[in-house]
Structure 1
Amino acid sequence: MSEPVQPFDWGRMFIHDLPWTYLGEVAFRTAFMFVILLTALTVSGKREVRQLSIYELVLVIGLGSAAGDPMFYDDVPMASAVVVFIVMMSCYKLATYISDRNKTVRQVLEGKAVYVVENGCILTENFDREDLGLEELFSDLRVEGIEHLGQVRVAILEPNGQLSIFQYKPDEVKFGLPILPNELKKDTEQIEESGKYACCNCGYVESFTAPAGLENCRRCNQTKWVKAVH
């Protein structure tokens, strides 16, 4: 029966039962795998560095796992890691070759661009099918300096998860749903003053006259509204 592990056993933690000279081998293994990693990323191009599609994500995970173990495990041969790199890169190149030439395969595996905002309104029928929440959408828009949806002509969720935003020209900006956190908290179901109100769910803007109760949104049938801004 093996002896129980003693916490904070500095000898075990730093070197275990290996000679200190083994650290020189660890340094060599690390340098060797660094060169292999660098070579692999150079061969694959900048695509996986600029963005992470499904192919690149699999590639990074596979290469990271293959590169890590030989750096510090003495019983993991480096030749095995080289074979893993060759196979991974071959599969990656084959997958991207097929995807680039077959639209169906590309859309199934990578997805396709989806319109999530158009003419200042959220396209809920498309939005609900994507892995994107309203808060995440609003956060991405705020990063681009957007204060309300009336500024947004089109927003497209790209296959790589990034959001492409096309704004109205300054003289074309419309009333829209405010997306600043403090403004969103002012939602209501009762009209306190006449004016334009935006649906909190889809951004549809409608004029209401006080005093009256707010109606259900014509686009999404929700009841929460907030004063639209321009």
Structure 2
Amino acid sequence: MIEWKRILLNDLSPNFLIEVSFRTIVMFTILLLALKLTGKRGVKQLSVFEMVIIISLGSAAGDPMLYDDVGLLPAIAVIIVITIYYKIIIWLTAKSPKFEQFVEGKTQCIIDEGEFSIHRFKKENLAQDEFFLELRLKSIEHLGQIKNAYIETNGEISTFYYADEDVKYGLPILPQIFSQKSEVIPKNGTYACSFCGNIQELTVAGGTCDNCLKKEWVPAIKTIRRS
């Protein structure tokens, strides 16, 4: 015989459904804020908001499937509350650009004219090695090939290139070259700051970057991009 009371509510009071609704809203909001703090790269290909929806619905649906002490009605209430909350947030994002930017994030320019936009790069919690990996996968050898690069709201990197005739000296991102960064300048020439990509003419006396005040340099290169 099917025990409907146990299946639907287990030993819980029907009033618990109200508490479930409150718990759901609180945990959904906390999860949204937590994922925003991890940065866009932690939720690549999905917006933070989409990731929260997936996690919340998956958690609500999974427990009553697996555990006999979890009633169906509380789980159904969670799904209904999430759906209503989702509709409200979507409505608010359509009405308020500021709220939309808070929920979905904002596209940021992290490479401008072949150099890092330092403050924006730091804000995105994006490791330099990880970023260089993304660029190498696009057949990029140095930052001087890039006019602009953006980190999109879903964590993807969009790049826009200089024409071949406009490519300039840039910071090499190939590991075997970048690993040679040093404060020691072996000979006079064109060098790139290993931190921000700023290009300067240096002598063996060395120098401090005019942009970020760092002192480690890599010999700059100027090659066109190979598709």
**Coarse TM-score class (shorter-chain normalised):** 0.7 to 0.9
Of 182, 195, 203 in structure 1, the residue corresponding to residue 197 of structure 2 is 203
Of 34, 51, 63 in structure 1, the residue corresponding to residue 57 of structure 2 is 63
- Number of the residue aligned with 1:162: 156
- Number of the residue aligned with 2:168: 174
SS at match of 1:128: helix
SS at match of 2:87: helix
Structure 2 CA distance, aligned partners of 1:87 and 1:170? 54
SS at match of 1:206: strand
- Number of the residue aligned with 1:222: 214
Gaps of 5+ in 2: 1-43, 223-227
Post-superposition offset of 1:180: 1.3
- Number of the residue aligned with 1:136: 130
Structure 2 CA distance, aligned partners of 1:95 and 1:52? 17
* Partner AA of 2:211 in structure 1: R
Structure 1 CA distance, aligned partners of 2:206 and 2:82? 58
For the Cα contact (< 8 Å) 2:191–2:219, is it kept in 1?
Answer: yes
* Partner AA of 1:139 in structure 2: L
Of 135, 140, 145 in structure 2, the residue corresponding to residue 151 of structure 1 is 145
For the Cα contact (< 8 Å) 1:55–1:96, is it kept in 2?
Answer: no
* Partner AA of 1:92 in structure 2: Y
Q: 1:200 to 1:207 in 2, by over 3 A?
A: same
Post-superposition offset of 1:206: 1.5
SS at match of 2:123: coil
Larger Rg: 1
Gaps of 5+ in 1: 1-49
* Partner AA of 1:227 in structure 2: P
CA offsets 1:74-117 (integer angstroms, 9 cap, x no match) = 23233332222222122112212211321111122332111111
Structure 1 CA distance, aligned partners of 2:130 and 2:181? 19
Structure 2 CA distance, aligned partners of 1:101 and 1:117? 31
CA offsets 1:29-74 (integer angstroms, 9 cap, x no match) = xxxxxxxxxxxxxxxxxxxxx9422321221111111111122212
- Number of the residue aligned with 1:112: 106
Larger RCO (alpha carbons 8 Å, 6+ apart) = 2
Equivalenced residue count is: 180
Q: Give me the CA root mean square deviation.
A: 1.9
For the Cα contact (< 8 Å) 1:200–1:226, is it kept in 2?
Answer: yes
Structure 1 CA distance, aligned partners of 2:117 and 2:49? 29
Post-superposition offset of 1:179: 0.7
- Number of the residue aligned with 1:185: 179
Q: TM-score, normalised by structure 1?
A: 0.72
Structure 2 CA distance, aligned partners of 1:124 and 1:187? 19
Deviation >4 Å, runs of 4+? none
For the Cα contact (< 8 Å) 2:45–2:156, is it kept in 1?
Answer: no
CA offsets 1:169-217 (integer angstroms, 9 cap, x no match) = 22221110001112111112222223211000110111234xx221101
For the Cα contact (< 8 Å) 1:175–1:228, is it kept in 2?
Answer: yes
SS at match of 1:179: coil
Kindly, what percent of the aligned residue pairs are identical? 40
